[in-house]
Structure 1
Amino acid sequence: MPPPPSPSRWPPPYKAAVSFTMDNLGEAQDVLNGKWPHPIGTHPAVSNQLPRMLSLLDKHNIKATYFAESWSLSIYPGAIKSLQESGHEVAWHGYQHEVWKNLSSEAEQENFDKSWKAARKAGITYEGFRPPGGSINERTWGLLKEHGMRYVSTLGGLGIGKEGVVVLPFEWRGVDAFWYMDKFKGIRKRHGEGEDLDSPEADLKRWLLGKVEEIKETGGYLSVLFHPFLQTSEEKFAVLEEVLGRIAAEEEIWMAPCKEVADWVGEHPDLFQDGR
């Protein structure tokens, strides 16, 4: 007789967990870098792509986490209101998408201060952080704890990080920009993918759906990341809708915003010591 299946570490009846996430709200980074030639508050990703993405999420009854730059909270209050009214989590993505690992101690503290001031003004209480660039500094752990952050979404392994902060990892292949953007050629090469892709949409869909099957077998976690500003064609939206529909239809997958997954992991630390 085959051995009995191992018990799941996720809430019954689920065998694995997925969070659908979004990054970058509007032109925060472009303004920081002096590359935004248009009036502030007119980014088409916010007025065009984001509402369409929210409609797809609603269609498939998925609650997401949006890692938004704090600078953008006052620029796009309507978008923030739409996210909150739809039950999505608004989490932190730096003040203006500064590459986190490059910040000095003083700049990092200033980023926290400016971001929390903007969040208070917008009526938002942050529970999680995704550092632009995917990595944090050693000193960041203490600042996260000091500011009451429950989780951080970085490159790495799943579990409890320093200062008791939950780590909900993402990986580059689960990010649409990895497949869609030329500036990720070097990262694609390091991960064994072609620098130039014939069909990035098909490659992204193939990897994501294959990963979902993998985590069902391993009891793992997957953070899916789509940027609104990259959903620029019907083909890309078709990939997004198929991925959402396929995952939402998986009865063995717990699809939840990051803060809910972080709560579960934090309450069951012994189940997540393997980093998966």
Structure 2
Amino acid sequence: MPPPPRWPPPYKAAISFTMDNLGEAQDMLKGTWAGPVGTHPAVTDQLPRMLALLDEHRVRATYFAEAWSLGVYPDAVQALARAGHEVAWHGFQHEVWGGLGEEQERESFERSWEAAEAQGVRYVGFRPPGGVVNERSWGLLRERGVEYVSPLGEFGMGREGVVVLPFEWRAVDAFWYMEKFGGIRKEYGEREILLSPGEFKGWLMREIDETVKTGGFMSILFHPFLQTSEEKFEVMKAVLKRISEDGEIWVAPCKEVAEWVKGHPEGF
């Protein structure tokens, strides 16, 4: 007998298009936001363009949003839901997860779930800001009914029955576009200086091809606040066109990929 299909037939690979950081949550935490609350251009300007592109290519995405932002940008959250996108958890105010103490971590859970309930949001997935899941996080995630986590790491089943749908730094726009990632770029064998949208696009296209070849999973990550030029938007357009027109790629929000993995353990 042939082995069971790893992904829903006829697909050979799975890719989730994801977004992180909703508005000025992190800047408010750091005390660097100078504008009126609720007016961040990432939400008022860039996000509508991104949603239009997603709609044009019929791609449903996962937005990892800080819980603090849900009440500040309720219209954006509702627009995401109406368009069929998933709203997942990205901490309360983008606190670096790996640096939290036990009390701080529990407080983030509590405040985040209160904020989500107030806005009618049910969190199924979590991407820890900074990419690191603490040891105690697994039990807390399971207690809250979280089905998957998207950190740096390896794809598969994590602890407490939580699925791991990882990202890698080079699939993140910030890796290429932000100065503070110079050290990480060096670790990955790239130049420390800022890299171009064209270089990001080239790497993504090669990695998408490799993901199809190996039958793997890939999480692509764009931050709305970084889509500040037409050249950068062209990268997004090209990526969406590539993944949406390939009949071998299952393009789905993270929660649907996690559901499939949990329901078909024989394939993983």
Scaled by the length of structure 1, the TM-score of the pair is 0.95
| 1:121 corresponding residue in structure 2 | 118
**2:169 matched to 1:175?**
no
- Per mean C-alpha deviation after superposition, the further-off stretch among 200-209 and 50-59 is 200-209
Assess if the C-alpha contact under 8 Å between 2:5 and 2:267 holds in 1.
no
Question: Which residue of 4, 10, 14 maps to 1:13?
Answer: 10
**2:208 matched to 1:217?**
no
Paired AA for residue 212 in structure 1: I
Stretches of structure 1 that go unaligned for 5 or more consecutive residues are none
| 1:137 corresponding residue in structure 2 | 134
Paired AA for residue 80 in structure 1: V
**2:230 matched to 1:234?**
yes
Stretches of structure 2 that go unaligned for 5 or more consecutive residues are none
Report how far residue 269 of structure 1 moved.
2.0
Distance in 2 (alpha carbons) for counterparts of 1:200 and 1:158: 28
**Residues 59-74 of structure 1: matches in 2 within 5 Å?**
59-74=56-71
| 1:23 corresponding residue in structure 2 | 20
Paired AA for residue 265 in structure 1: V
Assess if the C-alpha contact under 8 Å between 2:61 and 2:85 holds in 1.
yes
Paired AA for residue 205 in structure 1: K
Question: Which residue of 193, 196, 209 maps to 1:196?
Answer: 193
Scaled by the length of structure 2, the TM-score of the pair is 0.98
Distance in 1 (alpha carbons) for counterparts of 2:192 and 2:3: 40
Assess if the C-alpha contact under 8 Å between 1:21 and 1:65 holds in 2.
yes
Assess if the C-alpha contact under 8 Å between 1:57 and 1:244 holds in 2.
yes
Assess if the C-alpha contact under 8 Å between 2:25 and 2:94 holds in 1.
yes
Assess if the C-alpha contact under 8 Å between 1:65 and 1:88 holds in 2.
yes
Report how far residue 266 of structure 1 moved.
0.8
**2:143 matched to 1:152?**
no
**Residues 260-275 of structure 1: matches in 2 within 5 Å?**
260-272=256-268
Assess if the C-alpha contact under 8 Å between 1:94 and 1:132 holds in 2.
yes
What is the number of equivalent residue pairs in this alignment? 267
Distance in 1 (alpha carbons) for counterparts of 2:18 and 2:58: 14
Distance in 1 (alpha carbons) for counterparts of 2:4 and 2:11: 10
| 2:95 corresponding residue in structure 1 | 98
Distance in 1 (alpha carbons) for counterparts of 2:69 and 2:192: 32
Report how far residue 35 of structure 1 moved.
0.3
Runs of 4+ in 1 over 3 A off after TM superposition: 5-8
Assess if the C-alpha contact under 8 Å between 1:159 and 1:269 holds in 2.
no
Instruction: Output the aligned Cα RMSD.
Output: 1.1
CA deviation map 1:218-253 (0-9, x unaligned): 100000000000000010001110111111111100
Assess if the C-alpha contact under 8 Å between 1:131 and 1:154 holds in 2.
yes
